[in-house]
Amino acid sequence: MCGLLAAMAVALSPTPAAAGEPTPGTAPGAAPKVELTLDVSGSMRARDIDGQSRMAAAKQAFNEVLDAVPKDVQLGIRTLGATYPGNDRQVGCQDTKLLYPVGPLDRTEAKTAVATLVPTGWTPIGPALQAAAKDLKGGDGQRRIVLITDGEDTCQPLDPCQVARDIAAQGIHLTVDTLGLLPDAKTRSQLSCIAEATGGTYTSVQHTNQLRDRVHQLVDRTARRVTTPVATQGAAQCATAPELKPGLYSDREKFAEHRWYRVDVKPGQELRASVSIGADRAVNDDYGVLLRASTVHGREIVRGAEAGDGRTDVLSTGLRYAKSEATSSDDATKDAPETVCLQVSNSFSAGPSVKTEPGLPVELAVDLVDGPHDASDVASFGLGRGWWLLGALLLAGFVGGVVWGWISRWRITVWRTN
């Protein structure tokens, strides 16, 4: 099974752009941005990380990370709970401050700002995430928030997990990674939810070196050039669907919704498409995803489907369709592309307490490559010449059965003789 999944991933991977041709969703020279968002609430005074306070461990880790930030990364630092020591909840839940603005890094200035921090107040994670997302607006490079806290949000009813979903729904491709310092079960659950909603990661931290290494890893990851999905919006029917070129696309789809997209496939080309739908919130058991290709008249060409039950983070499937070479002698029609309608459907459902807005995150990969000379080479996804393979398996089974039967009869005859 693992080998088959690996083969599917390779088969459906988009072909790299030619030299000098930009990949959709990327911008040459776009500066990556990362904002370290640090909890400076009163609980950070606890002395339980390598014999020092949580705040001291965070400062030490930050200083070492700042020394190693790649030169092309624009970095900022935001705090939460750093300035208000009182008991007024309304004031405390707005206590988030941009300590160092996002931009080219002055290491001395950033370290000096971190050195002044003293554990003080509340833990307004939701407001801090909203502010950090605004800090990172603009530009086409990678954007990442690294949230470091030792406890869950203390400023409900603003749910930080819902804030993360709202950020993801904006289509700005901002990832939130979360790190919990000696977290309890509630903190782990909340931080995991925040990370999953934006495609980020959650890490539990017990020691100073773990914090340093993980933050450094995330900052370094932000500096790497990757393909960023292009935001699109599928339609309720193929006739009004957006036309997709080869590339990577993102969308949002409601529970049990159908969305349509269009791709023009020229004679001699092969369409390769895959879709992934993320379960960024609690969903019911039994779910599925369908990717279906059809003509503009509704005739199904090929489909890919995947289903499951239990807990999942993402569900994916894919398909391939080869358009035969043109046989017409009419120059006006022989090179005319065929419009293929792609339908993305899901059968996810959720309990009554789960919010359905925004929809589930969808990532759709589309590629067009030179197809096989014979469209039957793609008889079915992953099988190639499917009928030949099936016939070979049947023949091998028949021969194996005859041989095994002959050996069994021979052994019985010998046993009776003896």
3 pLDDT band (50/70/90 cuts)? very low
Q: 101-105, 167-171, 270-274: which range is least confident on average?
A: 167-171
Whether the per-residue pLDDT at 10 is higher than 50: the answer is no
pTM of the model: 0.61
Residue 35: CB atoms within 10 A of its CB come to 26
404 pLDDT band (50/70/90 cuts)? confident
CA 78 to chain CA centroid, nearest Å: 25
Topology (CATH) of 29-223? Rossmann fold (3.40.50)
Whether the per-residue pLDDT at 225 is higher than 60: the answer is yes
- Token pair belonging to 228: 């960023």
- Token pair belonging to 172: 């700005």
Average pLDDT in the chain: 84
CA distance 161 to 282: 12
Looking at the DSSP bridge assignments, the partners of residue 149 are: 180
- Which residue in this structure is represented by tokens 């700005």? 172
* CATH class belonging to 230-378: mainly beta
Whether the per-residue pLDDT at 93 is higher than 70: the answer is yes
Structure confidence at residue 172 (pLDDT)? 79
Average pLDDT over residues 275-294: 91
Query: Tell me, what DSSP letter sits at residue 376?
Result: G
Structure confidence at residue 218 (pLDDT)? 92
Contacts of the segment 189-196: beta carbons below 8 A, 24+ positions apart: 190/125, 190/152, 190/153, 190/160, 190/161, 191/147, 191/149, 191/152, 193/161, 193/164, 193/281, 194/125, 194/129, 194/147, 194/160, 194/161, 194/163, 194/164, 195/164, 196/278, 196/280, 196/313
Q: 8-17, 159-168, 363-372, 388-397: which range is least confident on average?
A: 8-17
Structure confidence at residue 395 (pLDDT)? 79
CA distance 284 to 349: 6
Alpha carbon separation from 8 to 91, 126, 307, 338 (Å, rounded):
53, 39, 16, 25
Q: 129-133, 175-179, 346-350, 392-396: which range is least confident on average?
A: 392-396
Looking at the DSSP bridge assignments, the partners of residue 103 are: 75
Whether the per-residue pLDDT at 389 is higher than 70: the answer is no
3-state class (DSSP) for residue 19: coil
CA distance 128 to 276: 30
Average pLDDT over residues 388-417: 70
Identify which of 172, 163, 112 has the alpha carbon closest to the alpha carbon of residue 138.
172
- Cβ atoms of 55 and 150 within 8 Å: the answer is no
131-144 pLDDT, tens digit per residue, is 999 999 988 788 99
Residue 74: CB atoms within 10 A of its CB come to 20
Whether the per-residue pLDDT at 296 is higher than 50: the answer is yes
- Cβ atoms of 270 and 323 within 8 Å: the answer is yes
Residue spans of the domains in the chain: they are 29-223, 230-378
CA distance 72 to 29: 9
Whether the per-residue pLDDT at 318 is higher than 50: the answer is yes
Structure confidence at residue 385 (pLDDT)? 42
- Burial class of residue 42 in the structure, from the number of CB atoms within 10 Å of its CB (0-12 exposed, 13-18 middle, 19+ buried): middle
Structure confidence at residue 415 (pLDDT)? 62
H or E segment at 65?
helix 54-67
34-74 pLDDT, tens digit per residue, is 999 999 999 999 999 999 999 999 999 999 999 999 989 99
Structure confidence at residue 196 (pLDDT)? 85
Structure confidence at residue 381 (pLDDT)? 41
384 pLDDT band (50/70/90 cuts)? very low
- Burial class of residue 145 in the structure, from the number of CB atoms within 10 Å of its CB (0-12 exposed, 13-18 middle, 19+ buried): buried
Structure confidence at residue 357 (pLDDT)? 86
CA 306 to chain CA centroid, nearest Å: 18
Whether the per-residue pLDDT at 15 is higher than 70: the answer is no
Structure confidence at residue 326 (pLDDT)? 66
